[in-house]
A = this chain, B = another copy of it.
Amino acid sequence: MKAVGIVVEYNPFHNGHLYHLQETKKKTGADCVIAVMSGNFLQRGEPALVSKWARTSMAISAGVDLVIELPYTFAVQSAERFATGAVALLDALYCAELCFGSENGEIEPFLQAVQTIKRQQSRYNQSIQQALKDGMSYPQAVTYACRQLEMKEIDLAQPNNILGFSYVKAIIEQKSAMVPQTIQRIASGYHDEVFSHPWIASATSLRKALNGAIEALEHISPYIPFSTKKALEKYYAVYGTFHRWEPYFPFLKYRIMTSEESDLQSIVGVDEGIEYRLKQAITEAETFEQFLHSVKTKRYTWTRLQRMCVHILTHFKKEQMNGIKSPSYIRLLGMSDNGRLYLQMIKKRLSLPLVTTVSRLQKDVIYQQEKKAVAAYTAIFSETTRIQALKEEYATPPVHFNSCK
């Protein structure tokens, strides 16, 4: 059996994801698709619309064979670390290829870009540092450094390109045997916030349309598979919400106001004295958006600030992160019959423990942070609902294909 790996957030799963999934199978001829997926919080520093279990069931229903959790400590991170964790997991699962979406669908420019940078690594790093020092945001600094290297292969300032680039770079650095592949993205830009296609829309626009409530579900249904719609309905029926930042703001505010500057300074992403700006802005901010606006300067991207706020909310400390270099376990969130078969085949060759229940992870430093992420994610529920959600995290066995029908 040949496996191909993909890296996803499925927030929520939509027709564009389905297209990518089907094209991936076609292009690679793989018999098994393994998706590494972020959990409660996403790469861009936002709570996931619905739980990892609901998103796993969307994935399995749509044809993914195995869903593996990308731990919080790699998921809520800039592209480089995000890719490091995802590639390590897919490699550990013996994927033959890794396939990601890109703007033009050609892998060659990514390979060349990585080589160009590797050849002039120190000059590239210097340019980045200089640009950051001059007050540029990270994406701006990358663009600047690429210009310095006269790199023409690819525009790394595009979020999708930087992710693809990072996967390829991680594959090379980790000396993985995986072959990188790419598929051209369909119809919708990453940040599109309006519907401009009859059946493809970005996850951002879908979340925006939902805005935390069920009412707009019919409105977005042309853009999502029926199984996604069912999973969203089911989640809403039990938990009464689609998650977004604003309901977490009281907890963020409480946390920042009851922390000293030195406490904040120990949190991942709180750098360059921003703790003083946080303390100053928090008292009078009425909403999360207002707060971020008053903290934002040219130097920080919105995404970077959101990630920092998630780390404050989940109390993710620098000293914790510094101790974590790569994933220490493979947490299985869901599988199809096919995925189960594949697992049985490779089980004995696995170099990381395959985990289906988290009870054995209680002392794992990566899972420690996962628990804190779950605690923060469920904080907005009523106590009875919260206890149920926590039980789901601690006791749910992997979603199996049949369980989604």
List which A279-301 residues lie within 8 A (CB) of chain B: 283-287
The answer, yes or no, to whether A315 is at the interface (CB within 8 Å) is: yes
Check A257–B384 contact: CB distance below 8 A: no
List which A16-53 residues lie within 8 A (CB) of chain B: none
Check A254–B284 contact: CB distance below 8 A: no
Check A250–B315 contact: CB distance below 8 A: no
Q: A251-B251, A315-B263 are in contact. Are A258 and B387 (CB under 8 A)?
A: no
Instruction: Tell me how many chains of this kind the complex includes.
Output: 2
Check A383–B249 contact: CB distance below 8 A: yes
Residues of B within 8 Å of A255, CB to CB, are: 255
Alpha-carbon separation in the docked complex, A371 to B368 (Å): 30
The answer, yes or no, to whether A314 is at the interface (CB within 8 Å) is: yes
Check A387–B283 contact: CB distance below 8 A: yes
Residues 94-117 of chain A, each 1 if its beta carbon lies under 8 Å from chain B, else 0 = 000000000000000000000000
Residues of B within 8 Å of A263, CB to CB, are: 315
Check A258–B368 contact: CB distance below 8 A: no
Q: How many residues of A contact B (CB 8 A)?
A: 30
The answer, yes or no, to whether A8 is at the interface (CB within 8 Å) is: no
Residues 205-242 of chain A, each 1 if its beta carbon lies under 8 Å from chain B, else 0 = 00000000000000000000000000000000000000
Alpha-carbon separation in the docked complex, A226 to B383 (Å): 38
The answer, yes or no, to whether A185 is at the interface (CB within 8 Å) is: no
List which A313-346 residues lie within 8 A (CB) of chain B: 313-315
Check A259–B379 contact: CB distance below 8 A: no
Interface centre among A285, A315, A368, A383 (most CB of B within 10 A): A383
The answer, yes or no, to whether A151 is at the interface (CB within 8 Å) is: no
The answer, yes or no, to whether A260 is at the interface (CB within 8 Å) is: yes
Q: A254-B251, A254-B375 are in contact. Are A259 and B315 (CB under 8 A)?
A: yes
Q: A258-B315, A263-B315 are in contact. Are A286 and B253 (CB under 8 A)?
A: no
List which A377-402 residues lie within 8 A (CB) of chain B: 379, 383-384, 386-387, 390
The answer, yes or no, to whether A81 is at the interface (CB within 8 Å) is: no
The answer, yes or no, to whether A76 is at the interface (CB within 8 Å) is: no
Residues 180-214 of chain A, each 1 if its beta carbon lies under 8 Å from chain B, else 0 = 00000000000000000000000000000000000
Check B384–A286 contact: CB distance below 8 A: yes
Knowing that A258-B314, A259-B315 touch, tell me 5 more A-B residue pairs with CB under 8 angstroms: A250-B379, A253-B383, A253-B386, A283-B387, A286-B387
- Can you list 20 pairs linking A and B with CB atoms under 8 Å apart? A249-B383, A250-B379, A251-B254, A253-B379, A253-B386, A254-B376, A254-B379, A255-B255, A258-B314, A258-B315, A258-B372, A258-B375, A259-B315, A260-B315, A260-B368, A283-B390, A284-B387, A286-B383, A286-B384, A286-B387
Point out residues on A near B: beta carbons under 8 Å.
249-251, 253-255, 257-260, 263, 283-287, 313-315, 368, 371-372, 375-376, 379, 383-384, 386-387, 390
Q: Which 9 pairs between the two chains have the least Cβ-Cβ distance?
A: A257-B375, A254-B379, A258-B315, A258-B372, A286-B383, A258-B375, A283-B390, A251-B254, A258-B376
